[in-house]
Structure formats: structure tokens, C-alpha cells
Structure 1
Amino acid sequence: MTLHHSALHPPRPAGGRDRVRGNDYRVLRRPDPFTPTLRVSVVVPAYGGQDKLDLVLAALARQTYPDELVEVIVVDNGSTPPLRLPEERPRDTRLIVCETPGRASARNAGLAEAGGDVIHWLDSDVLLTPGAIEAHMRWHHAAPYCVVTGYIRFTDAPVPAALPDDLERAFEPAEPHGWIVDLVERTGGLTDNPQRPFSLHVGGATSVGARLVEAAGPMDEDLILGQDTELGYRLAQAGAVFVPEPAARAYHLGPTMRMRDKQPIDRVSHAFVADRIPAYRWLRSHPGRQWKVPYVAAVVDGTAGYENVRAAVDALLAGTVPDVEVVVVGPWDTLDRPLRDRRAPLRDPALDLVLVHGHYLHEGRVRLATAPDVDPAVPYVLRLPPGWVPGEDSLARLLDLCREQGYGLVNVLLHESPDGVLAARLERVAAFARARVVLRPGEDLDDAVDDVSGVTWVEGETYGFGTEPADIPGRRSAHRARVEARAEAERLAKEAERLRAQVTKWREEAARWRKSTVELRREVGTLRRRLAAANRAQQGLRVLVATTVRRALGRGSRGRPGAPPEAGDTLP
């Protein structure tokens, strides 16, 4: 299904610049009439394929966007023979060489040379239609934090010797970039799903505000695959709005590597991006793993006293969100020597600080920091005031609320008095980054966050926060759960063993019954045979007796009636 530009981006009334809430870029007013002022740097990494590169540069030379506002940087990534620039190309086109293999390295080399307000990634086998760059740049003139991706179609047509005047007639029918079309359609043009629009960032034909790239950083050259998506995630963390633009059409000469080998590619990329993209929760199914970029960073004041700090940190570590880093903030650089070297350790004024430092120095999920700085790639930050302890499920419930409602800030009311309000804060880093981009002079940052993402308040007691340092429900509950689980496992193992023994006993008993039944049947058969023989013998005896009686009666009738037989008479 092809999305029409008017349906995906309905017209908006003219007016001042609006703030984008979530990823609903539809509020942005693209200038009309359009007077371009921004310069775009098109970065084209290439490895071989001179015939395709010639067509790509010819297509760039025919763009409707002003030629004086376009620079093209072709990066030869070690081609043999070396690449060259053809005659038909934009007038500001240069060729540089990057010997480090890999598309990420080549793109970073081109990025280092770029001087435009906008960076336009373009593969060396993608032909832009004449109005593609202009369609991209209209969005960048509307807001400096846009990431715009065009619609690529994949053609199996033979590579022509020269660029056709009509790309559509030359390359259709062609196959759409199916997963992008599906993602856009399922999410209302990416406006219904503010959690993962960064997946739209693909290197084939995507443009990015240069200031966004500067804030997010270059491509990760340590990744084997998945560099585009990983950079897209960091752009989202820097406050980007992701825009699919159907009017920015292009043709890819042949299929992509992913289209040919999707499963093997996913197998490789997933092994590495899981460490770097916390938003891909399904790749982090292991309950006890630690990752390069944690899902949540909790900031705790390390100077609040050993017992208080330990209660808060241990509760966070024992909670139902294991993908967490605890940043304990304190003047750790002032601890110039270990406690064991001190002559009077119990009278040391920095004793509590020393204890906190020593207690968590080797805990992998705790980072001892001198400032409350957090990796900008971490999606969420919990800021916890001293003396307050979260419950076992406190963090998980706050995260659920933040994700489901799309909030940029959840304030947790812990204590209210005439002196003011004490609160914990769960901040979504991407929302705060966007708010800083659009912040007006003198405006409170939280108000800007409310505009771009939303802010809410909840009761700390309702979400399980307490003040007792010794009350560590997370650790106690987790320990109790582990003890109960082990006990249940042992009970089930014993029960299984008992049942196995019972089954063995029943089998032996059944065997004995089967054997007894066979023997009984034999005995019954023998008795039946004996009884039959006895019956036959009895019947024969009866016949004999009857015969004898008849004979005896016959002889008596020839003498005197009733006279006994004579001495010579015998029974036959």
C-alpha cells in the first residue's frame, strides 16, 4: 500500500512554530512559499560500483533544491580500482578516501568533512527522484530537530548506462521498503508510538539536523551491524522528531543485504545492539544481566550518611527492575588514602563517606561519581532525595506509568510542609533533551517538558516510598522469595523422589499380581482337568454298577426266587 502525502501529512493552518508533543510532527508548519536558506551535506559512502555511483551523482545533479545549497561528499572506502567523480554531478562535489573498512567509518569520515546545516545520508546505489532533497529540507526549515526518512523502492531492473529522465517509468514495478511502510501504517505515521520511532533512521536516504548529530555523536564503529538504528536511538535521546516523507522518493538498484539475509543479519546485529539500545526490551530477557547502557539510572546523594545511603542503594538494587545503575554522588576524590591506613578511623570526620565508598567500590551496578551526570543514552533517570527508600516495586510502577502515558516527568510527592515540597523525580531523558532544544529564554525547563511530553504528580506513599533506613523491603522480599523458592524446589524434589519410589513399588506389586494370576490360572486349569477326569471315572463306575446289577438279576430268575448265588457264581 502506498501512502499519499496529503493523507500522511494533512495541511495545517499557517502560524508560528509549534512544539512537537511526543512524535506528532504534524503540528510543524513547513514554510509555504518555500525560500530555502539551509545548506545540506550529502554523505555518500561507496565501495566499488562505479556504474551505480555515476547514476547516484547524476540524480543529485538534477535535484530541485538550489545547487548552491548542496554539497556532496563521496567517501571511497578502499575501492579497487579507486573511485572517480563523473562529469554529471553537483558542482560542489568532492571525493575523499577512508581506508578504515566499514560503512560506519566511511560515514564518520564524510561527517567530519561536512559543513551543512543538515546531514543527508545516501547509499551509493540509491537514486533520488528530483524533488527528494527539497521534500526533506522543508521539514528542516520547520524545525531544527527533525530526522526525515524518504520512501525507497527496490528495483530489479538492469543498471542503465545513463540516468533515465523518468525514473518511475524506468524502474517500476518496484518493491516498497516493506517494514518501513508497515511501521508507518501501524503507528499513524509514527505519531501513535512515541517509544520507538527511532527505528525509522536508515542510512539509505535519511536526513538529520547537524546540531542533532553533534549532540548524539557519530556512528558507532565498534558495531558490526545495526549502526543506523543505534544512531537513531541516540538521536531520539537527543530530542529528535522522526518524520516519514512519502514525497522524498528514491529507487534502490537491487535488493539490500537485509532483504537477502534477514535472519543471519538479525542474529548478528541483535547480539550487539542489545547492549546499546535499552528500548529493545525483548533483547534483554535475562533477569540478571548487566548492559553497557542501563535502562534506568538512579541518582543518590552519597553524603547523606552511611545507613541512609545503604538503605536507598540496596533497595534499588533489590527491586524488581534489575536493569538499573545507581549513581552515588559524593566528593570521592577527597578520599586520598584508604581507611586501613588511618590511625584513628572511628574519629575520622569523613568516616561515613569512607564507608559508602568502600561498601560499593566493587559493586558492578553502582557508580561512584563526583557529579550527578548520567550517560545521555540512558532512557530514564530517577532522582531520589536523601533519607528516602523506594519499595520493591516502586521503580517498576513509575516506569509503567511513564511509558503508558508518555510522560516526560513523573514527580513523586514524598513530603509537604510550610517550607516546601520534597519530591523524587523520574525523568525521561529524550523528553528533557527535546525541551532544552525548544526552551524559551527565562522559561522553566519542567514547563517545556510538560509541553513536549507531559508532567504528572503521584503520592510517594501510594508508590511504596518510605523513610526508614533499615526498612529495605526490596532486599528482604527478594531474599525471602529466594529462600521460599529454594524450599519449594527442595520440597518438590523430595515429593518427586517419593512418587518415583511409589511408582516403582506399584510396578513391582503389579508384576507380582501378574505372576500370581498366571500361576492361579495354571492351578485352575489343572483342577479343571482333574475334575473332568474324576467325573469321567464316576460316570464309568455308575455304568459298571448298573451292568453288574442287571446281570445278577438275570441269573436269579433262572433258580429259586430270592435264593443267593451259588459258590461258583462271581461278579464279572
Structure 2
Amino acid sequence: MTRPAASPEPAPIVYQNQWRDVFDGTLPDGWEPTKSVSVVIASYNSKTLPLTLASLAAQDYPEDLLEVVVVDDGSEPPVELGEVVPKNIRLIRVEEGWGRSNATDIGIKATSGDIIYWVDSDMILFRDNVRQHAKWAHFIPEAATIGNKGFIEEWDYTPETVYEKVLDGTIGDDYDRSTLHEHWSIQIFRDTDDLNTSHGRNYSTHMGACASVTREVYDRTFGQDTRLHLGEDTEIAYQLWQAGAVFIPVEEALTWHLGRGTVQDHAVKVAWHNDVHFAQRMPIPRYRRKADNRIWEVPLVKVVVEVTPETAYLARNCVDRILNSTLTDVHVVLVGPWSQLHEGRRKMLADPLNELYLVREWLRTDNRVIFAEEVPETVFPAPYRVDLPITVGVTSDSLMQMYRQIDGNRLGAVRYFTPGHTKDDSVTIWDSAAVARAKRYLREGDAIEDLVDRVWGFQWGSNDTAQLIDLREADLSERVTRVDPRVAELEAEVAALRARIAPPPSLARQIAQRLNAASGGRLAPVVRGVNARLGGAPAAAIRRLRRG
């Protein structure tokens, strides 16, 4: 498909995570915000919450665009809102579940702001903090911002003094930021030009203590994972990445963090605990998954295959090849008319759907296979999707090579020239984050690969890399096994070495081989038949003669 000739000028789109190319933070003269902000604070027995609320009361963001929701996560005594609080504030008491993720989820669902801003109950926000976060969403629809934290360990603030100091802009004078603990994310910002070169992979810097995201992006996610009680901010940040977020560290969005960070004192224990939960949910970075041949909650790759009654005879071979890949972190979405299959009486061998019954039976116990009625719009939160026609077969190493090409080159999609198939039926591997962002800008007449190219990059790949075959020309009766390409190379090398060092055949064998070749291969069966009828005596005699 092509764009209409009269299409309007394309909207500015952030390429990968290079936000600076679209908006560098410089506001037009006279700019004022128009987007509403919902601040969500989860609180459990917090002694510093009154200071956080006082700093929010003194913000310079328009009052009619700012709401604050405090979620009491079972505090004893229950949270009570004091006198120094924002104008538009609500208090919600958790009735079921526990933990920051659960409380935050409840708070977000109770709000409707254009921008969601989660703030911990041990933060003091400087006067223009909300404005500094919110301005990015006005220019970058996918903005997910990270504030600047200064960790202080001693203070004598009251809600009244915090309100006064934030209001008059002197709160920042109380401590020298250069002498305070430097959060680990700062070095990442230095190394990636403030995440411009991160491709979004440093999503873990999007910390829940003071981070925002547009509701538009948040609504593409599954929301807070309420099963988590540590590391929940990293998990939702991963989801935001896969939903197309652009991560932006906002140095001007200043705060004081009241007390030491958890990681400062318990980094090893936190990592040991979180990595198990993160491995189940986040395929990237790869180092967390320390075992192959495992089934994870969120796979690295989902392969989407469509089957019909007419093509069902290819399905078992097609899917078996996928599941025998050297890339084992994979699920298959097999799309077909499964609801038409029933358990009633039928003439099985004459049933036109019988091959579909056989496919379902063949794969029903493998929980890597998902039987679906419709082609999924997205494979979120899996980072990669492969669209594979059922008439295409992969080799053991195809998916691994396709993944390495798209991931290693940080591309949004790679489409492969496929034997026996047209351009439209080619195999394509997609980056989910790129597709999620591209879809926002998709208009009638646009091709999705063109938009993906604009936001992440698109290439055509060679079948020398993908190693695809046309299943319609394959021997479907052959056993499907995994062949590690490294093992195959070693076996070929060993065979070549054996051929070089093997002794040449004897003169008698050479004469026999030539006579057999001259007879068109008919002589050898005759000789073997005579030898068999004589009980193998001629062959035994010849072996004795060879041994001398």
C-alpha cells in the first residue's frame, strides 16, 4: 500500500529513543500547559507523606489541571489528610490486596488525567516539578519522564515550612546536591546521552519514586502487576517500553528524596529477589534468563501462523520446526477455526476438518502453542513477533538468525525473501515496541512497514540468513529434529578429515567398483546374492586373503 498523494505533512515522530530530535525541552514563548495530570501516591505507615503533600500544594501547575490521589495501603493508624494539601485531593483506602503495585493500580484506575505521575510518599517536589514533567507530554505523545532525585538523610521540615520553601523557590538551597549520593541511573544517562542512544533498553531507569507517562501509552499496557511486591516500577517500565514509550530524564524536575534509597543498603538482596521475578516477565536484558529450554511467562519471540482446513496438512511440520529451534525462548500462536471442532459423532476419515482435529491433538499438550481464533493485533509484552505463512518451513537456526539480525541492528522489522512466496507472503520479524509506536501514526493508505521504518528502521533480509524453505515442496514424512549448526559444522569437518586420512581401497576393490559401475550398478546385488546363498563363505575367504 502507498500513502495518498495529498496526505498531510507527517507528524514529528521520535526515532527509537532519540527524543532530542523532536523536542529538546525549550518551550515556546508564552507556553502554558493544557494537559491534566493525575498524581498517584501509595502510602503505608509513611511519616513523610505530609511533607510530600505540602510540596504538591505549592506547585505552579494550574490547579484545575492537577489532581492528587493518595492510596492508603492499610496503614495503622489510617492515613489522615492534613491541612497543607493540594486543592484537588482524594484519599482511597485499600480494601483488598497489599503492596505498592496494588495500591498504585487502584489509584490509577480512580483517575483520568492525560498524564499519570506516580510519586513516592517520601519525596519533596520543587515548585515547577509537575510542570517540568508534564511539558514533555505536550510535545511527545509517548513521553515517559524520570525526575531528578537528591537523597537527603537528615531534615527538620514541617508541612508548613516545606510549603513556604517550595512556594518561594528556596527549598533547593538547603542542601548541596554535589555532595549527595549519586543514584546509579545518572551514569547510564551520561553513557547514553540522556538515553538518546539507549534504544529504550535502559527502561529500568524509569523509577517509581518520581516518574510520569502519558495515559495514552499506559493504556496500551496490562497495567501494574499486582503480584509483585518489589521491583514493580521496573516491570511497568518494561511494559511501557514495549508499548512504545520514549524515556526522557528530566534534570530540571528536581526533588529531595527523604532518606536513603533501598538499593543503597540492600542492593545484592534486592537484585537476588527481583531477578527471579524479572526473568519471568522481561525477556530483555537476556542475562536474567540463565537457563535454556525453559518456558517463561513472557517469551522473547511469538510466532504467528494461520491455518485453514486446506493448509492443515502442513501445520504439524511447520509448528514442529518452530519448536525445534535453537532459539528455545519462543511461543507459537496458531490461528485457525478451532471453534468449529466438536466432540460429537462424525465420519472422521471423511471429515473435511479432520486434519485440523489431528493438528489440535498433536499439539494440545505443548503449552508453548496457543490456539487462537483470530490473528492477534499484538503479541505484547513479548518483544518480538514473527509472522510466518504456514507454507514456510524454518530450519533449526532460522529464528535465532532472524532474532540476531533485528536485535543486533536495532531494527523495527526485517522481511525475508522467501522461496516460492510472493513479497506479500514473505516472513517478517517485528520489534513490538516499534510497531506499538508506529500504529499511533498509521493513517488510511499507509503501510505499517513504512511507519515502522520511520520510528525504528526496516530492512529486507536475505534467505541466506533466514534459511527458509517452501514446505509445499518438502518431504513432510521426515522426522523433525533440532540440528545445532555448530554441531553440524563440526560433523562436516570430522567427515572431511576422515576422508583425507582414510587408506585408499585395494586394487581388487577398485576393480570391483569399476566393474559394478560399468554394469550400471547391477553387478553388486548379484554378487551379494551369491555370497548370501553360500553362507558368506566367499566374503570370509577374501577377508582372510587380505589379512595375508
Query: Quick check: 225-234 or 157-166, which moved more?
Result: 157-166
Rounded to whole Å, the distance in 1 between the matches of 2:77 and 2:271 is: 32
Moved over 4 A (4+): 471-474, 478-482
Letter of the 1:169 counterpart:
D
Which amino acid is 2:56 matched to?
L
In our comparison, the structure showing a higher alpha carbon Rg is 1
CA contact (8 A) 2:305 2:387 kept: yes
Amino acid in structure 1 at the alignment position of 2:395: G
Matches within 5 A, 1:113-512: 113-161=110-158, 162-163=161-162, 165=165, 166-173=170-177, 175-303=180-308, 305-337=311-343, 342=346, 344-373=347-376, 374-415=378-419, 421-468=424-471, 469-470=474-475, 475=481, 477=483
Partner secondary structure for residue 120 of structure 1: strand
SS state at 2:425 partner: strand
1:53 corresponds in structure 2 to 49
Distance in 2 of aligned mates of 1:287 and 1:363: 17
- Matched residue type, 1:443: D
Q: Deviations over 1:69-94 (max 9, x none)?
A: 11111111112222222222221112
Q: Which residue of 73, 79, 89 maps to 1:77?
A: 73
Task: Give the structure 2 partner of residue 28 of structure 1.
Answer: 22
Question: Residues 480, 427 of structure 1: CA spacing in aligned structure 2 closer, same or farther, 3 A cutoff?
Answer: closer
Q: Scaled by the length of structure 1, what TM-score is found? A: 0.77
Q: Which amino acid aligns with 1:22?
A: Q
Alpha-carbon spacing, 1:148–1:473, altered in 2? closer, same or farther (3 Å): farther
Describe the shift of the 1:189–1:348 C-alpha distance in structure 2 as closer, same or farther (beyond 3 A).
same
TM-fit CA distance, 1:474: 6.9
Deviation by residue 1:393-423 (Cα, 9 ceiling, x = unmatched): 1111111111122111111111478x76531
Contact between 1:152 and 1:176, CA under 8 Å: does it hold in 2?
no
Q: CA deviation at 1:463?
A: 2.3
Alpha-carbon separation, structure 2, partners of 1:435 and 1:421: 20
- Please name the residue that 2:546 is paired with: none
Matched position secondary structure for 2:343? coil
Q: In structure 1, what is the Cα distance between the partners aligned to 2:45 and 2:116?
A: 23
CA contact (8 A) 1:171 1:251 kept: no
Amino acid at match of 1:455: F
Checking the alignment, whether the CA contact within 8 Å between 1:413 and 1:422 is kept in structure 2 is no
Task: Tell me if the contact between 2:60 and 2:127 (Cα under 8 Å) persists in the aligned partners.
Answer: yes
Distance in structure 2 (CA, Å) of the matches to 1:479 and 1:209: 45
- C-alpha change, 1:292 and 1:154, in structure 2 (3 Å) is same
Structure 1 residue 146: deviation in Å?
Answer: 0.7
TM-score, normalised on structure 2? 0.80
**Structure 2: unaligned runs, 5 residues or longer:** 1-8, 495-548
2: distance between equivalents of 1:203 and 1:369? 36
Give matches, 1:517-528, under 5 Å. Answer: none
Greater Cα shift, 112-121 or 154-163: 154-163
- Distance, in Å, in 2 between the alignment partners of 1:450 and 1:396 is 22
Contact 2:417 2:463 in 1 (8 A): yes
Contact 1:416–1:422 (Cα < 8 Å) also in 2: no
Displacement after TM superposition at 1:311 (Å): 2.0
Residue in structure 2 matched with residue 87 of structure 1 by the alignment: 83
Report how far residue 258 of structure 1 moved.
2.1
Letter in 2 for 1:414: T
Question: Is contact 1:326-1:365 (8 Å) kept?
Answer: yes
Partners of 1:243 and 1:454 in 2: CA distance: 21
Residue in 2 that maps onto 1:103: 100
Aligned length: 466
* Residue 470 of structure 1, CA deviation: 3.1
Name the SS for the 1:251 alignment partner.
strand
Superposed CA deviations along residues 180-209 of structure 1, whole A, max 9, x for unmatched, are 101111222112121513212211000110
Give secondary structure in 2 for the equivalent of 1:208: strand
The residue type equivalent to 1:379 in the other structure is P
SS of the equivalent of 1:261 reads: helix
Residues 451-510 of structure 1: per-residue CA shift (max 9 Å, x gap): 00111001224421112443779725259969x99xx9xxxxxxxxxxxxxxxxxxxxxx
Rounded Cα–Cα distance in structure 1 between residues aligned with 2:285 and 2:155: 38
User: Partner of 1:353: helix, strand, or coil?
Assistant: helix
**8 Å contact 2:144–2:247 — kept in the other structure?**
yes
Distance 1:72 1:357, change over 3 A: same
CA RMSD of aligned residues (A): 2.5
Whether the 8 Å CA contact 2:324–2:396 is kept in 1: the answer is yes
Distance in 2, matches of 1:39 and 1:442, equals 33
Q: Determine the C-alpha separation between the residues in 2 that align with 1:49 and 1:421.
A: 58
